[in-house]
Amino acid sequence: LMYGRMNVINNNTVYMKDGSFVMKDGYSQIDKIIIALVVLFSLYCLEPYFIWDTYAGGTFRYLFGIVPYKTIFGIIFIILSAIKYLSKPIKYNQFLLSVGVFVVAIFTVGLAGGNERSQIFSFAWLPYFVVIAYINLPARIQYKAYDVFLTVFAVSLILPILYWVLFRIGKTIPYTWLDSYEEIKIIRGHYYKLYPLASQRASIYDPLVEIKLSGIFDESGRVGTLCGLFLASERFRLKGKWRNIVMMIAGFLSFS
């Protein structure tokens, strides 16, 4: 059935004559690892509060306090993608998109620093190579990674929305003080109220700052932008789409 190479079906596993195997849902174990790495890398790129240096001393940001987890996720993703799919024919549009991303990387990493060339020999290239590797994945892997990340993002907004509503109706919610990892925000008197699985930007000088929903991210600039991009990609379909409804609500409450 699968290109005539299917051999034995055992529970949820389809074993192939070449010794490889895929799950009955059509994704091999390596595919699932690749998808998980894409989601983790993307989430870490958004700087959620639990990877800030000010949260638990950066425990969830660096492995052994040295190597960023984001870097590890990206490198492993690129290696696994290359091992499994590098030998596959590259479509013309994938090639053009890959070249376009590389040209952008040359300008932003190699040239934008003026006379400063330290970034050329750094991991600043990594996000662009991750994007190139993602572009050259099979469409079904891309769609699945998108779908999983969309779910993770939408779920991360549920509790922040609930806290936002409770606060507006006068309910007191216990929180702890969390400093931003950005020095400019600390100087301006901004900090974050840390709730269970949610954060809310606040200010000791401007109470209006707190009206904008923060989710779990370093606001402003994450929640509203991502909600808008996701809703556009979903063509703003709301009927029967709980994730889109959550993002529509969160997007409005971000006042972005």
Q: Residue 14: its pLDDT value, please? A: 47
Distance of CA 94 to the CA centre of its chain: 21
Q: 149: how many CB neighbours lie within 10 A of its CB?
A: 19
Judge whether 30 and 80 are in contact, CB under 8 Å.
yes
Pairing of β 21-23 and β 176-178: unpaired
Q: Name the residue type at position 233.
A: S
Compute the radius of gyration of the chain from its Cα atoms: 21
Q: Residue 118: its pLDDT value, please? A: 64
Whether this prediction's pTM lies above 0.85 is answered by: no
Q: Residue 111: its pLDDT value, please? A: 74
Q: Residue 114: its pLDDT value, please? A: 53
Q: Residue 17: its pLDDT value, please? A: 44
Tokens of 21: 């195997």
pLDDT per residue as tens, the chain (256 positions): 333 333 434 444 444 444 444 455 678 899 999 999 999 999 999 999 999 999 988 889 998 888 999 999 999 999 999 998 877 788 889 999 999 999 999 888 877 755 555 667 678 889 999 999 999 999 999 999 999 999 999 999 999 999 999 988 888 889 999 998 888 888 889 999 999 999 999 988 888 888 898 999 988 788 999 999 999 999 999 999 999 999 999 999 998 8
